Amino acid sequence: MDVHAFAEPGERRRLVLGGVDVPFDRGLTGHSDADVLAHAVTDALLGAAGLEDIGHYFPDTDPRHQDADSIELLRRVRELVGEEWAVANVDAVVICEQPKIRDHREAMCENLAGALGVEPTRVSVRGTTSERLGFTGRGEGVAAQAVCLLERKLEGR
């Protein structure tokens, strides 16, 4: 799971979800590009492999990660997990009242799948609202949740 607040009105930030620039009047705050969806998928991949969380590998105190492309960070984590593990599938949900992500889901799946080295059919991205409850319901930010299933590759396969 990952969450990011919307930037203050007038603060020039892009809204990046799953590596897609989503047209919206406000972007998300964060040390990197604040791609909440890519961050949730990255943490799901790390968790499935029994590794540390995203902050361990890409701390927000490290200036090298300022405005980093989160899809590239996911690609680096996929390499860290190693080829002994195959990504069976990823299922992710973006939680926000606005913007609607329906028209961008396919591109998000393609970007995430590309970083993971799998075909897009192994990645699912959905959107939902929180029925105007909590910080996402008040339009203060975006949350994302993801799960990842890894399968150990057998020798000779």
CATH of the domain at 51: 3.30.1330.50
Domain range spanning residue 31?
2-152
- Tally of domains in the chain: 1
In 14-152, the DSSP E strands lie at 16-17, 20-21, 85-95, 123-128, 141-152
Whether 65 is covered by a domain: the verdict is yes
Whether 157 is covered by a domain: the verdict is no
Per-residue confidence of the chain (157 residues) as pLDDT tens digits?
A: 999 999 998 888 999 999 999 999 999 999 999 999 999 999 999 999 999 999 999 999 999 999 999 999 999 999 999 999 999 999 999 999 999 999 999 999 999 999 999 999 999 999 999 999 999 999 999 999 999 999 998 765 5
Cα 119–chain centre separation? 17
3-class DSSP assignment, residue 86: strand
